[in-house]
Structure 1
């Protein structure tokens, strides 16, 4: 049987460096009152032995774990996944690590367990990507002693926040259709419990009303099957609808599939615009006109705010990133009906 090799500890470092273990601890925790020659001896001993300080133990002494937690739901969607990667990269750039806990945003026990998991590793701050009211209220109730950055939450008037311009993006999407000459434009909305949905409905409705047009909203969610089912039953001929603004690209894909099966040409008979610019949107048939949010920048800004607040360099403010209109082949001038 192979004998297990013992890892070096703080006492081994102290012995090799000829100092006390308390002195080694002070060097590890960057105390200011250590002589440079002593610090150098300890660091050399650590390197020679291959000693790596235990982050959790260090956090107990310094109250600085250099770890930021991310509470996330629905990571299968394009937006949260893009934000996560950017946040992790920004945290490393700032000398921190980001760890995440995935939760069910509609289950208070799941949220509490996720927060507890992150708290056990000594996080210095928390970024929340759970765009539902219940989950945000749970975080506000359970986390009071560390900074919290909410992404896309209306509950952030006094909190650090990073905002996606859902209202303005939806308004611009609708204005694009109006500028082509469409007058009968409907909106297929996202799920009502998501914060992203309401401002997209408002942006669409306000753009329609500003153009003296009548808004009409169909309730949906974020899924392809829902878009497909709505598309199978959407009445276009009597209502003379010529354009659809879908709350996300997956809804748009389902709508396009159903409408083509019913014999409607896109965009010759009906124009469709989406929201999110998922990677496959350019490969839809036809390629989808959509709004492109900069999810990576949103994640980066959120983590930048968190690290700035931890290091006392931040102000309580909110940034809103406006999505970009990406014109492809699914929108065109309206047909003469």
Structure 2
């Protein structure tokens, strides 16, 4: 049996009638190649079935062609183990992998403990073994100053998926959590709601703090009293808190939940206690996972631009290859998707 022939970069260069260096520039998504030449090379790659060798590419320069994103280990595993899925992770992979693929890169996804010193140790070991060209810190890792300092000392540019923090100079990619919370209050207030409760996530997440601050500010501006319950993104805690409010005097006529799981808890309690949604109680969720569209009734929700944020972070880090630090502030738009869980306040 004949051994399959290995297609090399030189074969591609001969087929396209260009130099090896020009083929390399196209493979590595570098500028300076005319469109017609780039298309000819890409056609030759496809016709020959050439697959670039990552190890060889790394030998040709300092780049690893890897971008690494890290996420909260305990919470991610908890969601997976409980069978709840994790739309945040799905959207991270969607945005990051497509952006990396477009630039000839690969995306790594790592789960890291949130305790600050342990996070530094874990990420340090990963850097030593894989040498990613850039790192994406999601919350709450984005607020770990020790981790940021270690990355700077190791000369690894990083992006924080969070509001800028003057104590951690970095590339910041985020949406305006506070403005999104205010948009929720405005939407409900326009319907005449005055007793609005906010089901808060976890204060170790910067975005969660920004949302509750935005909620409180909007309520005060409307001369309304904010009601905030600490529910830790949990169905059970949100259900217990909502139940206690809805059974009491002066029950809220509307709820804002920081994730869909807590919003589903409110729907469950409303059904249990005989509340009609939205006729007797309205509800808005952050997150907008696929389940939000299929709940009964479908959830009005803030759609977070998670995929776009991770994709933007990847693109900026890739463009900054060779730099040891990257700074900047990229604010992406959110969307309030109005469905069937919000309506006029009951009279």
User: What band does the TM-score fall into relative to the shorter chain?
Assistant: 0.7 to 0.9
Contact (CA 8 Å) 2:142, 2:162: kept in 1 or not? no
Please say if 1:94 is aligned against 2:83: no
The residue correspondences of 1:167-246 to structure 2 (distance < 5 A) are: 167-235=178-246, 237-246=248-257
Quote the Cα distance in structure 2 between the aligned partners of 1:77 and 1:223.
13
Match of residue 158, structure 2, among 130, 144, 148: 148
2:278 maps to 1:278:
no
The CA deviation at 1:203 is 1.1
Query: Does the C-alpha gap of structure 1 residues 327 and 196 become closer, same or farther in structure 2, counting only changes over 3 Å?
Result: same
Distance 1:55 1:95, change over 3 A: closer
- Structure 2 gaps of 5+ residues are 11-19, 26-48, 77-84
Deviations 1:272-310 (A, max 9, x none): 111111111011122111111121111111111111222
Deviations 1:226-273 (A, max 9, x none): 222222222455224211111111111011101220222221211111
Query: What residue in structure 1 maps to residue 145 of structure 2?
Result: 137
**Residue 323 of structure 1 aligns with which residue?**
334
**Residue 128 (str. 1) matches residue 137 (str. 2):** yes
1:104, distance to aligned residue in structure 2 (A): 2.2
How far is the alpha carbon of 1:154 from its aligned partner? 4.5
Q: Give the 3-state SS of the residue equivalent to 1:70 in structure 2.
A: strand
Alignment of 1:1-337 (within 5 A): 55-56=54-55, 59=58, 62-73=61-72, 74-75=75-76, 77-106=86-115, 108-109=117-118, 112-129=121-138, 131-132=139-140, 136-144=144-152, 145-155=155-165, 158-235=169-246, 237-310=248-321, 316-336=327-347
- Counterpart Cα distance in 2 of 1:241 and 1:227: 14
CA distance in 1, matches of 2:144, 2:216: 26
Report SS of the residue matched to 1:330.
coil
State how many pairs are aligned. 305
Q: 2:71, 2:141 within 8 Å by CA — same for their partners in 1?
A: no
Gaps of 5+ in 1: 14-24, 31-49
Relative distance call for 1:51 and 1:212 in structure 2 (3 A) is: closer
Residue aligned with 2:197, SS: strand
Deviation, structure 1 residue 141: 3.0
* Structure 2 partner of 1:19: none
CA distance in 1, matches of 2:264, 2:292: 8
**1:106-147 per-position Cα deviation (integer Å, ceiling 9, x unaligned):** 364355224422441221111112x11686324213212111
**Bigger mean CA offset, 73-82 vs 216-225:** 73-82
Q: CA RMSD in A?
A: 3.5
**Change in 2 beyond 3 A, CA 1:232/1:59:** same
CA distance in 2, matches of 1:180, 1:259: 19
